Amino acid sequence: MVRHFRRDDDITPAEQQHIIDLAIAMKADPYSHKPLAGPKSVALFFDKPSTRTRVSFSVGVADLGGNPLIIHAGESQLGEKESIADTARVLDRMVAAIVWRTFLQTDIDEMADHSNVPVINSLSNSFHPCQLLADLISIHEHKGSLNGLTVAFVGDGSSNMANSYLLAGAMSGMHVRVATPSAYQPLADARATATRIASETGGSVLVTDDVAEAVSGADIVVTDTWISMGQESEKERRITDFAGYGVTADVMSRAHAQALFLHCLPAYRGYEVDADVIDGPQSIVWDQAENRLHAQKALLHFLLTAS
C-alpha cells in the first residue's frame, strides 16, 4: 500500500528512528542511494514561498538519481480550474512522488486520498513534518540520542511547528513542553494524539503559558516566527500578543547549561529570538537547515521503497 507523509504521525516510532538513522548514513555517503534512478521525477508544488524546502527537495531528488519538477502557485491548473483529486490522478501516472506546500491540511489529505504515489506535506498551516525530521536529526547529532530529552517550544503554540513538535517529539520519546499565550493553543487533536503517543514512548506533553516553567532545565529550546505565512495581516496584534515569549539570553539561562537552540528559519531577530541567541554558541540552526536535505532524502527513500 502506498505510504504518505501528511503529518508527523503517519510513521511509527520505529520508522521515525529508521529514517533518522538512514539520514545520518546518507549524510556521510550522499550519493549511495538511488531510488529515483531512471531518472524518475518528483513534483514539488509550492503555494507559499520557500528557500530551504525548495532547495533541499530539489537537491535531494537529484542526489537520489531523480528529476525535481518545481511548480509554483498559479503555474498549474490545480486550484481554480482543476480539482485536487483529478490533479492527483494525472500526476501519479507520471511522477514517483508529490511534495506539496500549501495552506489547508485537508487539501494535502485529499491529494493523498487520490494518489497512488507518496504525497509529502512540505508545510501546511497545521504541520511541518519534514522540518521535524531535520530537527530530530540535528538534536540526535549533538546529543547522541533523543529519548528522555526535554524540549521547550516557546512562542506561537498554534503554529505548524508547535503541532509538529508535539507529535514528532512525543514519538521520539522526548518530553515536549510548549509555552504559548492561552489564546494560541496547539490543535486539540495534535495535543491529544501526542499525549497518547508519549504514553507509549516514555515521553510527555505539557502546554503552559509560563515560559520559565517550560524552559526550566530543558535540553533544547526551540521557537518559530510569530507571524506564519498567510498571517501577515495579523502582524501588529501578534507582536503585541507574543510580548514576553521571545527567546532571549535570560530565557536560555533558565535551560540546561548545555541546552541547544533551534529555529526552522526564516528568523526575525528581536522578535521570537534575540540575535545573541540565534547567532550564539548554543545555536545549531545552520546544521538544522542543512539536515533538511538529508532528512528528506531518507524520507523519500523510505516512502519509495515501502510503497
**77 an active-site residue?**
no
**Binding site partner of 159, from ligand CP, ligand NVA, none, Cβ cut-off 5-8 A by kind:** ligand NVA
**For residues 191 and 172, what is the distance between their CA atoms, to the nearest angstrom?**
15
Single-letter amino acid, residue 93: R
The interface mask with ligand CP, positions 40-79, x = CB under 6 A, is ----------xxxx--------------------------
**191 an active-site residue?**
no
From 16, 17, 105, 131, active-site residue: 131
Q: Is 160 in the site for ligand NVA (CB under 6 A)?
A: yes
Is residue 222 within 8 A of residue 153, CB to CB? The reply is yes
**For residues 91 and 77, what is the distance between their CA atoms, to the nearest angstrom?**
12
**Binding site partner of 62, from ligand NVA, ligand CP, none, Cβ cut-off 5-8 A by kind:** none
How far are the Cα atoms of 52, 123, 180, 277 from residue 59, in angstroms, in the given order? Answer: 10, 18, 35, 29
Query: Grid cell 500526476 — which residue?
Result: 91
**Binding site partner of 164, from ligand NVA, ligand CP, none, Cβ cut-off 5-8 A by kind:** none
| Stretch in the footprint of ligand NVA (CB under 6 A) among 62-70, 153-161, 198-206, 291-299 | 153-161
**33 an active-site residue?**
no
Q: Give alpha helix (H) positions in 82-187.
A: 84-91, 105-113, 129-143, 160-164, 170-171
Binding residues for ligand NVA, how many (CB under 6 A)? 10
Q: Is 179 in the site for ligand NVA (CB under 6 A)?
A: no
What are the φ and ψ backbone dihedral angles of 249, each rounded to 5 degrees?
-60, -35
Positions in the binding site for ligand NVA (CB under 6 A): 123, 128, 159-161, 224-225, 228-229, 264
> Which of the residues are catalytic?
101, 128, 131, 224, 264, 292
